């Protein structure tokens, strides 16, 4: 009898295959009742151009006035001489009109920025800012003159400047009031109110010293009050211009 040796069967050799790619996998069937998730792009900050325009106007206006003050320091007394007389400084008098015109540009930037975030509206805030812009434009185009009798140009300049000085704090107050109840802008609202109060006090000091009801010693400071008022008004415009960058559009 023949001894039969059992033959051990070898396991079949595995052929290496490439790992399955995600493209080859079958797509998962989504239930018909569920909507696919949509990735929304991040919301861009509104009207960055308007903010840059407004800030450029404020910075240039301040630089022009600083340059005028330095050049005319030995010619004009900053305590009792109004800023409108800078127009008579030789060779650099044009900077006064340029500074006021830049203030007009800042007002336009403020209006465009507020319109972009739908805070400008069609009421008193829009009117106040529009009057401030128009007043700045007229004050730049119609300079004052020397002497007791005022020309038509000087009268337009005086009244237009007064409109600007009153309308900017009024606009800031109206804007702060419209932010009532907006929690994340409470700090901005309080700063607006605080600067409006300070600006109103300085405006009162300037107006009363300029038109005579104050004591003579304080009347000699009308130029100082006006320069302080100019800086405060630029600060209020800066707060208004920067507000769109802090604004959060409603979710939806």
DSSP 191: H
pLDDT of residue 218: 75
From residue 127, alpha-carbon distances to 96, 130, 134, 135 in Å are 25, 5, 10, 12
- For the chain, the structural domain boundaries read 48-242
Q: Does the global pTM surpass 0.75?
A: yes
pLDDT of residue 149: 64
For residues 8 and 211, the answer to whether their CB atoms sit within 8 Å is no
pLDDT in tens, the chain (252 residues): 444 444 444 545 554 554 444 344 444 444 444 444 333 433 345 578 999 999 999 999 999 999 999 999 888 888 888 898 899 888 889 999 999 999 999 999 999 999 998 889 889 999 999 999 999 999 999 988 876 667 889 899 999 999 999 999 999 999 999 988 888 888 999 999 999 999 999 999 998 887 767 777 777 888 899 999 999 999 999 999 999 988 776 655
Q: How far apart are CA 127 and CA 159, in angstroms?
A: 17
From residue 218, alpha-carbon distances to 162, 164, 202, 208, 221 in Å are 20, 23, 13, 9, 5
Reading the block at residue 106, the tokens are: 């800042």
Q: How far apart are CA 77 and CA 224, in angstroms?
A: 9
Residues 39-49: b if buried by 16+ CB within 10 A, e if exposed: eeeeeeebbee
Please calculate the CA angle 128-47-60 and round it to the nearest 5 degrees: 65
């Amino acid at each position: 009898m023949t001894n039969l040796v059992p033959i051990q069967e070898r396991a079949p050799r595995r052929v290496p295959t490439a790992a399955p790619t995600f493209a080859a996998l079958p797509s998962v069937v989504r239930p018909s009742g569920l909507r696919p998730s949509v990735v929304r792009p991040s919301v861009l900050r509104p009207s960055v151009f308007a903010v840059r325009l407004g800030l450029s106007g404020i910075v240039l206006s301040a630089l022009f006035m600083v340059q005028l003050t330095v050049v005319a320091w030995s010619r004009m007394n900053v305590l009792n001489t109004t800023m409108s007389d800078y127009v008579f400084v030789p060779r650099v008098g044009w900077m006064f009109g340029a500074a006021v015109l830049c203030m007009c540009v800042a007002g336009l930037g403020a209006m465009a920025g507020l319109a972009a975030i739908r805070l400008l509206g069609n009421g008193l805030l829009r009117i106040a800012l529009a009057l401030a812009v128009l007043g700045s434009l007229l004050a730049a185009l119609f300079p004052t003159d020397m002497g007791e009798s005022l020309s038509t140009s000087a009268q337009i300049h005086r009244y237009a400047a007064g409109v600007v000085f009153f309308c900017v704090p009024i606009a800031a107050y109206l804007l702060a009031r419209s932010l009532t109840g907006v929690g994340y802008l409470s700090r901005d609202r309080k700063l607006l109110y605080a600067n409006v109060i300070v600006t109103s006090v300085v405006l009162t000091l300037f107006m009363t010293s300029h038109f005579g009801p104050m004591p003579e010693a304080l009347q000699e400071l009308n130029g100082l009050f006006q320069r302080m008022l100019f800086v405060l008004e630029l600060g209020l415009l800066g707060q208004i211009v920067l507000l769109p960058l802090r604004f959060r559009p409603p979710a939806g």
